[in-house]
């Protein structure tokens, strides 16, 4: 028997709020009915605030990777040159997608854990002696917990050449961050359902501007299920081209209702508070953070315990306290731990994590650190409320 309720603090999937679960549990409805038309109409439009766009957001029945692939194959023609910023496992995902198509991908590598160096990227982009169609990047690179300076990057790409499309993977940050596609010069912005948008996995989102929409209609790259023109055309009739995840789309409506009740700017602040409190507490426990403050994501934090502490912390959080966090990916496996703080999380949830971490560390280190992280956490919270 567990003494503690389960606390899911992985960087996705995240806890699904009770109201969303209940709305997803409604009796099934046909997807070619007026009832469903109303649901998809509301969902695709209500999401606009979250994505910072004035176009209805396309909703795909598939995981986040499908939206990455859709963005790439609808923007890129065969033989086009594209630039992919690879700063972790999900930049690498973009690279792998590109390698499945006849595209020329130029990779700008960023050391894992670092944010993009804007000057270095500017020099790189200007040095390419080819016409670049698009630049692809993560907003938050979930594998390292870096938030890239998307606004500055978008402005720079636009200044270098306004014809270049700027495509942003926001899978692990949209719903927790201020974004405005026009202000930030983003042409295509994708996300997934199971992170800050706090739905179960299974839906992916593509937001686009006018320029991108026109481009989708011109590109000749072979595609069928991921042809975004189909989704956008169907949306004009409040419909979807294929059988959609009806229950998830009901859930989106409820998600948007919850956010409008909280008010999105408060949702953003809540995520920032959780990040700041978690980071300061982890520092107070003498554990290194992987990412500098200026690049710290509001949705996930990567920390670097001593090598021999890594497995024990993750296992004991789960086995003793019923708290799930995540390990590192690829070469960071066994080196870092990642705690998610996105979606339905409150500072109190994160405080439980810090308090459990203190108990575990005190055992491992053979000396008490009780209260060190918690009091720091309280200090940070106190500045906000
Ligand atoms: C930034 C980012 N991009 C893409 C993906 C892939 O999404 P999915 O696993 O839903 O296909 C993830 C998943 O964690 C992610 O964090």
The residue extents of the domains of the chain are 7-14+264-384, 18-260
pLDDT at 93 over 90: yes
pLDDT at 2 over 80: no
Two tokens at 39? 């649901």
User: Which ligand 1 atom minimizes the distance to the CA of 170?
Assistant: 1
pLDDT tens across 242-266, in order?
999 999 999 999 999 999 999 999 9
Among protein residues, the one with the nearest Cα to ligand 1's atom 9 is 64
The stretch 68-78 carries a mean pLDDT of: 99
Residue 32 exposed, middle or buried by CB count within 10 Å (0-12, 13-18, 19+): exposed
pLDDT of residue 300 exceeding 80, the answer is yes
Tell me: the pLDDT tens digits for 347-358? 999 999 999 999
Residue 173 Cα: closest atom of ligand 1: 1
Write down the pLDDT at residue 283. Answer: 98
CATH of 18-260, one of 3.40.640.10, 3.40.50.720, 3.90.1300.10, 3.40.50.2000: 3.40.640.10
Tokens of 301: 């934090």
Q: Is 279 annotated as a binding residue?
A: no
Q: Which atom of ligand 1 is nearest to the CA of 63?
A: 10
Alpha-carbon distances of 10 from 55, 221, 278, 318, 327, rounded to whole Å: 31, 36, 14, 11, 9
User: In CATH terms, is domain 7-14+264-384 a member of 3.90.1150.10?
Assistant: yes
Check residue 4 and give its pLDDT: 85
**C-beta of 63 in contact with ligand 1 (< 6 A):** yes
pLDDT reading at 236 higher than 80: yes
Instruction: Tell me the average pLDDT across 209-216.
Output: 98
Look up residue 293 and give its DSSP letter. G
The answer to whether residue 1 scores a pLDDT higher than 60 is no
Q: Where would I find the beta strands (DSSP E) of the chain?
A: 7-8, 58-60, 81-86, 104-109, 132-138, 140-141, 146-147, 165-169, 188-192, 204-208, 288-289, 300-304, 323-324, 326-327, 337-340
- Tell me the pLDDT tens digit for each residue of 99-158: 999 999 999 999 999 999 999 999 999 999 999 999 999 999 999 999 999 999 999 999
Ligand 1 centroid, distance to 216 Cα (angstroms): 22
C-alpha 169 – ligand 1 centre gap (Å): 9
**Average pLDDT over all residues of the chain:** 97
Q: 3-state DSSP call for residue 205?
A: strand
Question: Using N-to-C axis directions, what is the helix angle for 118-127 and 150-160, rounded to 10°?
Answer: 30
What share of the chain in percent tops pLDDT 90?
98
């Amino acid at each position: 028997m567990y003494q503690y309720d389960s606390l899911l603090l992985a960087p996705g999937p995240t806890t699904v709020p009770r109201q969303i679960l209940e709305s997803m549990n409604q009796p099934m409805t046909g997807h070619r009915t007026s009832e469903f038309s109303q649901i998809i109409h509301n969902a695709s439009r209500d999401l606009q605030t979250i994505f910072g766009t004035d176009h209805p957001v396309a909703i795909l029945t598939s995981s986040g990777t499908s939206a990455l692939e859709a963005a790439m194959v609808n923007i890129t023609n065969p033989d086009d040159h594209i630039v992919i910023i690879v700063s972790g496992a999900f930049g690498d995902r973009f690279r792998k997608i590109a390698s499945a198509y006849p595209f020329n991908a130029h990779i700008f590598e960023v050391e894992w854990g670092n944010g993009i160096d804007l000057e270095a990227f500017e020099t790189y982009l200007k040095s390419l002696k080819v016409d670049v169609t698009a630049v692809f990047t993560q907003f938050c690179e979930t594998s390292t917990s870096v938030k890239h300076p998307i606004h500055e990057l978008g402005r720079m790409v636009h200044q270098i050449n306004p014809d270049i499309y700027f495509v942003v993977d926001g899978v692990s940050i949209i719903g927790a961050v201020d974004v405005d596609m026009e202000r930030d010069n983003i042409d295509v912005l994708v996300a997934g359902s199971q992170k800050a948008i706090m739905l179960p996995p299974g839906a992916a989102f593509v937001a686009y501007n006018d320029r991108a929409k026109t481009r989708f209609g011109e590109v000749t790259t072979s595609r069928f299920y991921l042809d975004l023109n189909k989704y956008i055309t169907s949306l004009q009739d409040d419909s979807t081209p294929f059988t959609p995840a009806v229950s998830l789309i009901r859930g989106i409506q409820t998600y948007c209702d919850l956010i409008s009740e909280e008010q999105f700017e408060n949702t953003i602040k809540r995520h920032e508070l959780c990040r700041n409190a978690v980071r300061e507490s982890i520092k107070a426990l003498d554990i290194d953070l992987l990412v500098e403050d200026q690049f710290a994501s509001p949705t996930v934090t990567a920390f670097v315990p001593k090598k021999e502490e890594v497995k024990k912390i993750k296992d004991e959080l789960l086995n003793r306290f019923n708290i799930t966090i995540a390990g590192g990916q690829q070469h960071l496996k066994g080196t870092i731990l990642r705690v998610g703080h996105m979606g339905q999380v409150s500072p109190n949830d994160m405080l439980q994590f810090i308090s459990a971490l203190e108990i575990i560390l005190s055992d491992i280190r053979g000396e008490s650190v009780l209260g060190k992280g918690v009091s720091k956490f309280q200090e940070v919270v106190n500045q906000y409320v």
